[in-house]
Amino acid sequence: MSAPRRPPNSLPRPPGEYEALERAWRKPGGWRALTAVNNTRIGRLYLATAFALFLFAGVLALAMRLQLAVPGNDLLQPGTYNQFFTMHGTVMMFLFAIPMVEAIAVFLLPGMLGARDLPFPRLSAYAYWAYAFGGAGFIVTLAFGLAPDGGWFMYPPLTGKEYSPGLNADFWLLGIGFIEISAIAGAIELIIGILFTRTPGMTLARIPVFAWSMLVVAAMVVFAFPPLIAGTALLELERAYDWPFFIPARGGDPVLWQHLFWFFGHPEVYIIFLPAAGMVSSMLPALVQTPLVGRRAVIFSLAAVGALSFALWMHHMFTAGLGQLETTLVSAASMAIAVPTAVQVFAWIATLWRGRVQLNAPTLFVLGFLLVFVLGGLTGVMVAAVPFDWQAHDSYFIVAHLHYVLVGGLVFPMLAGAYFWVPLFNGHRMSEAWARWVFGLVFAGTNVAFFPMHVSGLLGMPRRVYTYGSETGWADLNMASTVGALLLACGVALFTIDLIRTLRRPQRAHGDPWRASSLEWLPQDEYATRSQPDVRSAEPLWRQPLLVQEVETGMHWLPGSVTGMRETLVTGWRDARPRYLLVLPGDSWLPFLCALGTAGFFLLMTVQQAIAAWLFGALAIVALVAWLWQADRPLPPQATVAEGVELPIGAEGRASHSWWATWVLVVVDAAIFASLAFTFLHLSMRLEVCPPPGAHLPAAPWPWLQAAFLAASSLLAWWSSRRPAQGWPMLAAGACLVAAFAYDLDAHRHAGLAPSRDAWSAAVAALLAYQGLHVAVLAPAALYVAARGKLRAASRATLDNTVLLWHCAVLQALAGLVLLRLV
């Protein structure tokens, strides 16, 4: 091991310097615990909620397996069974899997990156509470018979008003809406956190593999979730206002939903798998005490899997009547993605071969993951072959494949991660003796439960049936699957008991029980480490043997608290050189109240309680404005962050991390617009005559006048960024934006636009409505920025970010004009 270089602060810091640090990061007690925003508190809440929903979905699965244990069973009625399998799939895919991987990232990444916290802690808190309130409202529907019953994929036309007239489908759309908000907020937080708040010296080549996996996953969320947002919005518009996007009799197309849903749905499988793969790549070197073999190849393979996953969405649509060219290309991509996945598998096997394997609890579950996931991957290659997929589609073979991939690809790594990282909670390891029982039950239960489903599927058992006849020959296979499910449930129950028992033990220092190489095993408190470490390798705890003592005595970056508030360093995205000091917001009720208002508004609107809904909406708006108002606060211009090193506090424009976060939001916004544009093009291409009879666009000079208003709006917004002390240019920009939309709306109204008449008109109205949504957000933002700009120069970041959003909204509106005219 190389000798340590002289750290930034050559002398230990006196103990008194840490009083301000401990005071700034003191955790709230009692009811004020709901105000916590730092990553350790929010990460624990995330983990606990996601795991509780995992247990709930498991109970639903057990009930379904008991129903299918014998032919002709009547334990569950058909309607109840439909609700159970819809809730099980939805909770597992949306309320457990994605939130769980983001929860693990929120809890672990600041420690791995050597940061005090993620850059937007209140955004993390809002994302969690939106998820918690939305998930709770979704689960409660089961008690009132309002649970969705159209499957976790919610295919129209069965989920339209004609076949699902109640509120069941609306609650599904509502629940997924909260997950969309939470996931995208989490993705923005993770992208900016990983790129800009790494500790000094942690260059791109030294980022932990788990952080790389979460960076890829967060980027995937940014591109994969917008089509789902568009699809759920269109389905709700159809249900609420009779806009016939998916009704063939009026020009709609149910296959459009499949395109939008599966453009999210297949990347989602890898959104779930890649964090688990990153966890395995991070745990394995510590478990076998050797660096990961092929580290760079593993990182490139993570990015390759993420990119290829977007070419596979029609993998689920081979039987939907697509053309031969499309199915051939998607089939080839489905097989090609096995190559970068195999790179990771062989890297793990080589690391096990080179290291010293000890069959402790995490290692057992890593080995189980390799066996189960590889088997699921092999059946995935089988269904990538179009002729085989035609035979196996919608059979229990697909159920078996899906569960091997998801249980093997997430549950086994999750359990391995629990045994590995639980000491970070209170310093105690879970029981090794219990772990062997847990592993045996979970491994045996998984294979006994799901392997027979391959056979029953090939024998013709379809998915989503609540019973079957004794003459089918499926009885023994279904009984075996039920016994396996009970074994699996026993293993999960035993793990849960041991987890609770371990977490109830008294707090103590966690140390480094695995002799790991990554920074999360440094001595931690609510504020992370006493000083942010100066990193010089990809395995800092192995290559810098004195790092623990140096960091704990304040000999590295940012010892104590400079401003008396919560702080972390912002570093360059490539070289990790310190750029400026970021002052983080403290604990607050505002994210909680904003999430409560958001949840209350949508839940009450769903049950048609308009007055109460708008009261909750007002609560959300007031909380959001107060939240933003607090973000602009006067601070000193510079601070000393190490011996002889001064940095500015905060930054403006392109130097600011918030400016880049706004760009991520712009990408999400543009992807939603692209999904709506795809909807318009898809529906237009199905028409023999476009526009359809009775529908037409406004006549000239409509597009030229609207384009002039939009250009003037963007120009005034740009001018306001040059004159931040004057509010009138932004107010004038807002007036032009409102005028452009009002003119556009009036022109379409006089042209006779009738969204409920045909799907083409509904697609035009959807593009118009999305433009209106931007106006509804940016017009109040213009008032806010104008008022804020007169108070202090600290509102500069808010102004820069608003202007950036403004330009992108104008470009979208102009693109919509061009699209409508060209088609």
Q: What is the pLDDT of residue 749?
A: 87
Q: How far apart are CA 275 and CA 290, in angstroms?
A: 21
Q: At residue 460, does pLDDT exceed 90?
A: yes
More confident residue, 738 or 642: 738
What's the whole-number mean pLDDT along residues 121-138? 92
Confidence of residue 792 (pLDDT cuts 50, 70, 90): very low
Q: At residue 635, does pLDDT exceed 90?
A: no
Q: What is the pLDDT of residue 609?
A: 86
Q: What is the pLDDT of residue 440?
A: 97
Confidence of residue 725 (pLDDT cuts 50, 70, 90): low
Most confident of 416-425, 578-587, 622-631: 416-425
Buried-exposed string 295-315: b where 16+ CB fall within 10 A, e elsewhere: beebbebbbbbbebbbbbbbb
The verdict on pTM exceeding 0.75 is yes
CA angle 352, 353, 355 (to 5 degrees): 65
Average pLDDT along the chain: 91
Question: What is the per-residue DSSP string for 620-677?
Answer: HHHHHHHHHHHH-----SEEEEETTEEEEBS--GGGSHHHHHHHHHHHHHHHHHHHHH
Confidence of residue 15 (pLDDT cuts 50, 70, 90): low
C-alpha to C-alpha distances, 726 to 206, 364, 778, 803, nearest whole angstrom: 45, 64, 18, 14
> With contact defined as beta carbons under 8 Å apart, do 222 and 675 qualify?
no
Q: What is the pLDDT of residue 182?
A: 87
Sequence letter at residue 423? P
Q: What is the pLDDT of residue 16?
A: 67
User: Comparing 210-224, 288-302, 632-646, which segment has the lowest mean pLDDT?
Assistant: 632-646
C-alpha to C-alpha distances, 70 to 232, 290, 450, 481, 739, nearest whole angstrom: 37, 50, 16, 11, 66
What's the whole-number mean pLDDT along residues 500-515? 93
Phi, psi of 292 (to 5 degrees): -65, 130
Strands (E), 92-168: none
**Tell me: the pLDDT tens digits for 547-605?**
999 998 888 998 888 888 899 999 999 999 999 999 999 999 999 999 999 989 988 88
The residues with which 584 forms a beta bridge, in sequence order, are 566
Confidence of residue 463 (pLDDT cuts 50, 70, 90): very high
What's the whole-number mean pLDDT along residues 441-468? 96
More confident residue, 726 or 441: 441
Confidence of residue 7 (pLDDT cuts 50, 70, 90): low
What's the whole-number mean pLDDT along residues 796-809? 89
Confidence of residue 789 (pLDDT cuts 50, 70, 90): low
Confidence of residue 325 (pLDDT cuts 50, 70, 90): confident
Q: At residue 791, does pLDDT exceed 70?
A: no
More confident residue, 630 or 395: 395
- Taking alpha carbons only, the member of 621, 623, 624, 649 closest to residue 636 is 649
Specify the residue for token string 């707090």.
Answer: 507
What's the whole-number mean pLDDT along residues 740-769? 92
> With contact defined as beta carbons under 8 Å apart, do 287 and 514 qualify?
yes
Sequence letter at residue 178? F
Helix (H, G, I), strand (E, B) or coil at 567: strand
Confidence of residue 724 (pLDDT cuts 50, 70, 90): low
Q: How far apart are CA 325 and CA 323, in angstroms?
A: 6
What's the whole-number mean pLDDT along residues 643-663? 89
Q: What is the pLDDT of residue 750?
A: 83
CA angle 285, 291, 295 (to 5 degrees): 105
CA angle 126, 127, 129 (to 5 degrees): 65
Q: How far apart are CA 78 and CA 75, in angstroms?
A: 10
Q: What is the pLDDT of residue 322?
A: 83
User: Comparing 480-494, 511-525, 628-642, 699-713, which segment has the lowest mean pLDDT?
Assistant: 628-642
Give start and end residues of each alpha helix (H) in 686-795: 702-722, 728-750, 759-789
Confidence of residue 473 (pLDDT cuts 50, 70, 90): very high
